[in-house]
Structure 1
Amino acid sequence: MSAMRGIKVLELSENVSGEYCGKLLSDFGAEVIKLERPGIGSPTRQLGPFSEKGDDNERSGLFAYLNTNKRSVALDVTTAAGSVALQKLLSHVDVVIDDHASGWLKRIGLDPETLDENWPKLVLCSITSFGQSPPEDRLHAEDLTVFQASGLGYHTPSGSPDDMPPLKGAGRFLTSYEAGLDAALCISASLYEREVSQRGRFIDISKQQVLASRLDYVLGQMVAGDMDVSTNRTQFDLFGPAGIFRCRDGFAYIWMSAPSHWDGLRKLLGDPEWMNTFPERWLERECTPERVKLCRQYIAEWLATQEKEKVAAEAQKLGLILVAVNNAEDLKASPQYAFRKFFAEVNHPVLGATLHPTVPYKLSATPALITMSAPLLGQHTSLLGEQP
């Protein structure tokens, strides 16, 4: 049995955040009906990577990943007929997921303010960039905008030159994936609480707040008053020799902040003479920019001669935080990922057999399973005729 078996979800989402939330629920067994615009479908169908097979609406690898185990119903909820059909669907679902801008739900007749009056047992989750009441200039925002507004831009990368602009962070949709994950967790908790209260609830997910919650102890110290509040990016720099370094076959990341890390590095490098010129506990007490620069120089010279996976395994045995920076091919070939069965083969009617990432956690009794590929546009529209 899957963890979410018996839960019915209506997905109004048209962006990565809401679709990822729906995917997490559907892969754990929830029945997810995805409403799509007739003829054109969800905008994510037009986002790559693309396959050379199929028409424009069925070529997106991103859509195929985000929508496994779902059913596609073509319905324009902004029309009179669509509104009537939507009201009927709402009577048969436990959860609604939406990721349009604030105000859209009210316009289609699903007002969060009157949710308890009209749909007392419904769990309604809205994912927006800045919550339900943003300033006008923040009503519509891309992931990059939200990422920078959260403060994470100061960390990309940590310790970068002050005269260089902040980077965008990992991947294209980090903001949306993190928000989708939080939304799925909140929905699960709300469904659990509903077992006792018999009441639904409105869940307001702000992408900006989600990413702000991911900031490390620096923000916590500012809030607690232990560190000056500042927009200076150097506030987030830990002033150590951490960084990404080139290896013979790619890159590796190393982190050092404690005497045990310094001891591990010494053993890994074979007790080189240059390390004796540094004070024993310099990482904690005398971490000057000059020493950091010199340490990075020696590390870079040595790692350039090493293979990333091999040196990472050796370093970790010595208590040194050093990991390989993996690309997609590395992950596919990873023995650990193979052992955990992280990738699953999914047969799509247009794209064919493809490998999909699954979830990075396992529930022994109620595992996540991909039992059905992403739907074709409108493949299950006949479900509308089945509603009483």
Structure 2
Amino acid sequence: MAARPLAGVTVLDITRVVAGPFCAMLLADLGANVIKVEHPDDPDYARGFPPFVGGEGDGVESAFFSQFNRNKRGISINLKTAEGKALLKQLVGKADVLVENFRPGTMEKLGLGYDELKRHNPRLVYTAISGFGRSGPNSSRPAFDNTGQAVGGLWSMNGYPDRPPVRVGTIIGDLAASLYATIGTLAALRSAERTGEGQVVDVSQQDSILTLTENAVVRYTTKGEVASPLGNEHPFVRPYGQFACKDGYVFFGGYTDKFWRLTCEMFGEPERADDPAIDTMEKRFDPEIAERVVRPLLEGWFSAYGKAELEAMAGDRVPLSAIRTVPEVVEDPHIAARKMIVEIPVAGESVRMFGSPIKLSATGEIPLGKAPAPGEHTRSLLAELLGLDDPAIQRLVDGGAI
């Protein structure tokens, strides 16, 4: 295996839960030396999120936490003590990136804001993830994932038209913010390598969610149309959605004239492609025709087959996919071929979790390690990065700094 692309990059991860830990984990997967910084008496509370693995008491670990903190090393620092603040500044001098997900202003109140930290390392990339960003009238408001979905517009357009809006069924605000933070961090790192100057990467959950609303913004700004819940339908593309079959549901997206003709042939009715009521994409886009003619035709075809049969029939010709449950995805041979389910040690057991979707041809398969216990590597990291000996480290322990 070639050297991992971020080998030699040191990241200080001062984040909790998912928006932040996921960003730092992606950097760790790519080879960065990621150091998870936690308070010695108040570690990341995601360690208390289920599901749990292991025996009773101290042997129990959170698989949720491990999934977003693999490949990191752990250090304990009390950033509210003078010694702890000084220690972080020393570590910043050895780091390339610091990631934090506090409310804007929190690090400044601790005396550890970007303006202070860059005095100790002008090349520092300071990545800050928050609900509303570091500027604007709402920047100091608290936020969770649901906050991002609510204020970014996504919640208002998800669900069914005859029911109240529904949140997306995953923490997409946290995840999207982490992905954008990772992109921004890599861009800022490249700039720092070229110029010798670091900068702040400012990522907001609200901003991140807004970019996931597809055509909702331009539909409003150009036509005054307000996106609303559509269930499994697309605003204008038809047929393009969920359809029932013998043993579940499939997604079918054969809306172009080419795909529609192939579909009619596949089900033994090629003449339907020339039916003057539905023979063009524009006609099939019409909501009334789609519901009165196209949907009943498709449901009649699909009802005779199971998900796997339909996928096999469609093959590489027509966009038709089974709507899989999570167990079906985990056991999917294609997912296995892509190495997207990996085994990570958790509490002495091997736990399957999602792998890295980033595949690099020259680097090869990237090895993945376990998540750290709270402060697991404190002593070794302080010796390695700062050259502290055992007596110096013990004094920090005795003073409550670590």
- TM-superposed deviation, 1:361: 2.7
Deviations 1:15-40 (A, max 9, x none): 20100011101111111110112244
* Match of residue 35 from structure 1: 37
Structure 2, unaligned runs of 5 or more: 388-402
Q: For 2:336, what is the secondary structure of its paired residue? A: helix
**Counterpart residue identity of residue 271, structure 1:** E
CA distance in 2, matches of 1:307, 1:188: 44
CA distance in 1, matches of 2:61, 2:309: 38
- TM-superposed deviation, 1:248: 3.1
* Match of residue 129 from structure 1: 131
**Counterpart residue identity of residue 11, structure 2:** V
- TM-superposed deviation, 1:336: 1.5
- Aligned match for 1:228, one of 224, 227, 247: 224
Percent identity for Structure 1 against Structure 2? 27
Q: Mean alpha-carbon deviation: is it higher for 304-313 or for 266-275?
A: 266-275
* Contact kept? 1:128, 1:207, Cα under 8 Å: yes
Indicate whether 1:107 and 2:109 are aligned.
Answer: yes
Q: For 2:143, what is the secondary structure of its paired residue? A: coil
- TM-superposed deviation, 1:103: 1.2
Q: For 2:20, what is the secondary structure of its paired residue? A: helix
* Contact kept? 2:157, 2:228, Cα under 8 Å: no
* Contact kept? 1:57, 1:377, Cα under 8 Å: no
- Aligned match for 2:181, one of 167, 180, 183: 183
Q: CA, structure 1 residues 358+232, in 2 after alignment: closer, same or farther (shift >3 Å)?
A: closer
CA distance in 2, matches of 1:317, 1:201: 46
Indicate whether 1:15 and 2:36 are aligned.
Answer: no
* Match of residue 297 from structure 1: 296
**Counterpart residue identity of residue 145, structure 1:** T
* Contact kept? 1:54, 1:351, Cα under 8 Å: no
- TM-superposed deviation, 1:138: 6.7
* Contact kept? 1:153, 1:168, Cα under 8 Å: yes
**Counterpart residue identity of residue 111, structure 2:** G
CA distance in 2, matches of 1:85, 1:138: 27
- Aligned match for 1:359, one of 345, 356, 359: 356
- TM-superposed deviation, 1:98: 0.6
CA distance in 1, matches of 2:158, 2:58: 35
- TM-superposed deviation, 1:380: 1.1
- Aligned match for 1:376, one of 350, 373, 378: 373
* Match of residue 395 from structure 2: none
Q: CA, structure 1 residues 104+127, in 2 after alignment: closer, same or farther (shift >3 Å)?
A: same
* Match of residue 74 from structure 2: 72
- TM-superposed deviation, 1:326: 1.8
Return the TM-score normalized by structure 2. Answer: 0.85
Q: For 2:52, what is the secondary structure of its paired residue? A: coil
Q: CA, structure 1 residues 334+278, in 2 after alignment: closer, same or farther (shift >3 Å)?
A: farther
- TM-superposed deviation, 1:207: 1.4
Q: CA, structure 1 residues 35+117, in 2 after alignment: closer, same or farther (shift >3 Å)?
A: closer
CA distance in 2, matches of 1:290, 1:274: 18
Q: Mean alpha-carbon deviation: is it higher for 253-262 or for 111-120?
A: 111-120
CA distance in 2, matches of 1:11, 1:370: 20
* Contact kept? 1:45, 1:58, Cα under 8 Å: no
- TM-superposed deviation, 1:50: 2.5
Indicate whether 1:89 and 2:91 are aligned.
Answer: yes
| Count of matched residue pairs | 380
* Match of residue 192 from structure 2: 194
* Match of residue 168 from structure 1: 167
Deviations 1:110-145 (A, max 9, x none): 223555555311000000111013545971122122
* Contact kept? 1:2, 1:368, Cα under 8 Å: no
* Contact kept? 1:41, 1:57, Cα under 8 Å: no
* Contact kept? 1:27, 1:368, Cα under 8 Å: no
**Counterpart residue identity of residue 75, structure 1:** I
Q: For 1:317, what is the secondary structure of its paired residue? A: coil
**Counterpart residue identity of residue 25, structure 2:** K
CA distance in 2, matches of 1:152, 1:32: 32
* Match of residue 207 from structure 1: 205
* Match of residue 263 from structure 2: 265
* Match of residue 332 from structure 1: 330
Indicate whether 1:246 and 2:244 are aligned.
Answer: yes
Q: For 1:73, what is the secondary structure of its paired residue? A: strand
- Aligned match for 1:2, one of 4, 15, 18: 4
- TM-superposed deviation, 1:328: 2.4
CA distance in 2, matches of 1:302, 1:101: 53
CA distance in 2, matches of 1:368, 1:193: 27
Return the TM-score normalized by structure 1. Answer: 0.88
- TM-superposed deviation, 1:177: 1.3
Q: CA, structure 1 residues 119+137, in 2 after alignment: closer, same or farther (shift >3 Å)?
A: closer
CA distance in 2, matches of 1:137, 1:199: 25
Deviations 1:141-165 (A, max 9, x none): 22122113222234424xx31x311
- TM-superposed deviation, 1:221: 4.6
Indicate whether 1:144 and 2:146 are aligned.
Answer: yes
What is the root-mean-square deviation of aligned Cα atoms in Å? 2.7
Q: Mean alpha-carbon deviation: is it higher for 139-148 or for 272-281?
A: 272-281
* Match of residue 277 from structure 2: 279
Indicate whether 1:53 and 2:55 are aligned.
Answer: yes
Q: CA, structure 1 residues 313+210, in 2 after alignment: closer, same or farther (shift >3 Å)?
A: farther
